[in-house]
Amino acid sequence: MEITKICCIGAGYVGGPTMAVIAQKCPHIQVTVVDLNEQRIKDWNDPNTDNIPIYEPGLAEIVAEARGRNLFFSTEVEKAIDEAQIIFISVNTPTKTYGKGKGMAADLKYIELCARQIAKVAKQNKIVVEKSTLPVRTAEAIKSILDNTGNGVQFQILSNPEFLAEGTAVTDLLNPDRILIGGDTTHEGETAINALVNVYANWVNRDKILTTNVWSSELSKLTANAFLAQRISSINAMSELCEKTGADVNEVAKAIGMDSRIGPKFLKASVGFGGSCFQKDILNLVYIAKTYGLNEVADYWEQVIIMNDHQKRRFSNKIVQTLYNTVADKKITFLGWAFKKDTNDTRESAAIYVADDLINEQAKISVYDPKVSRNKMLSDLDYLGTRTSDENINSLTIFEDAYDACKGSHAIAVLTEWDEFTTYDWQKIYESMHKPAFVFDGRNILDAKKLESIGFVYKGIGS
């Protein structure tokens, strides 16, 4: 089966970059990304590709190369569905905020809406690919909808989870560790799997393309994120013990990371993990375990989230305690708002929760982030619902220059590991601040000895 037309429903952090790379590497395939959000599609079609809605190093150049040739962004959802042989579903699957499973289960309403729309529009056989992160056995529900509300069309459901790290998404897509494709073990299922394998094989070695049954594929994504988050919470737990005992968590992490059985990755102590995946996927895993009565399994994984939340509260508490147990009317500068460097994604960023805690203590927060807009920062705080929008506006000041953000502040909190922060003239920053001048390095990226030689009081994580 030769694939010539692909459609992706959802122009977000997964759908946009993934389809851009497929289009670049497969110029013989027409790739159409559709979304009901007209402004988002307009931004993807902006002639200045630097203004596309998602910042990822290298993404703008790929979009510029493929857009208009075989990569298209459109709001004509039904037209794209009708024409495509493969339809990727890449819509949001947030944690439920209502009803059964509230606060843990994945909200699948957008997935169901996509399935019903595909069933309504499709007139020819289709391959439907789960790209969103979904709970195990979601494919079963999608297939039921497609088979029972369609027009007699035959559908094959594949699971093809993404394993992208924001900030390196383009590199991850161009040189993936693996491509995972799950499908039915029937002849029709294997035909569908091979069709998708052949798409990726245009640039990925076939020995890196792993095929499984659909349930294994769905669960593998949740498990991968849970394991990575577990490592972060584990080293963060040790960071608190290091602070009490006089050990240095960076030295501990280096020592254990040299063990080939453990390895050095995801052992960087910090203020805590954020992003769209880790917390959501672990909560989903906890909910699935509980629904099967596996309470001990659920408790084990839930502790990863508990530790992460504790680390964020511990960081904000340290700021208050160090600043003589009061930050009322004091200017605290945040360097970074994105949940990690090289992305403008702020979902579940530690900065949001640390800011919320400090504003509750009547601190005045000043922020500089090279990629996150003022409106996004304010909407992040508004979403928490702790105070009114006007109160958030009065408590948060956003700067376009880091030196201006630091001027006159009592303390600096590093919340994102942007590379540029390590290159600043910290002597100049020190001279512009209230004394004593504090630096709370929530990402452990700065040179502690250098800062202390200047006169800063340096407070890293676990040191």
Q: Which listed residue (96, 221, 312, 459) is catalytic? A: 221
Q: How many CB atoms within 10 Å of residue 61?
A: 13
Q: Which listed residue (7, 8, 277, 406) is catalytic? A: 277
Instruction: Read off the tokens for 230.
Output: 């577990």
Asked if 56 is an active-site residue, the reply is no
Asked if 240 is an active-site residue, the reply is no
Instruction: Read off the tokens for 293.
Output: 């009565």
Residue 317 and residue 353: Cα distance in Å, rounded?
Answer: 12
Q: Which listed residue (56, 162, 166, 218) is catalytic? A: 162
Residue 368 and residue 362: Cα distance in Å, rounded?
Answer: 19
Asked if 38 is an active-site residue, the reply is no
Residues marked as catalytic: 162, 221, 277
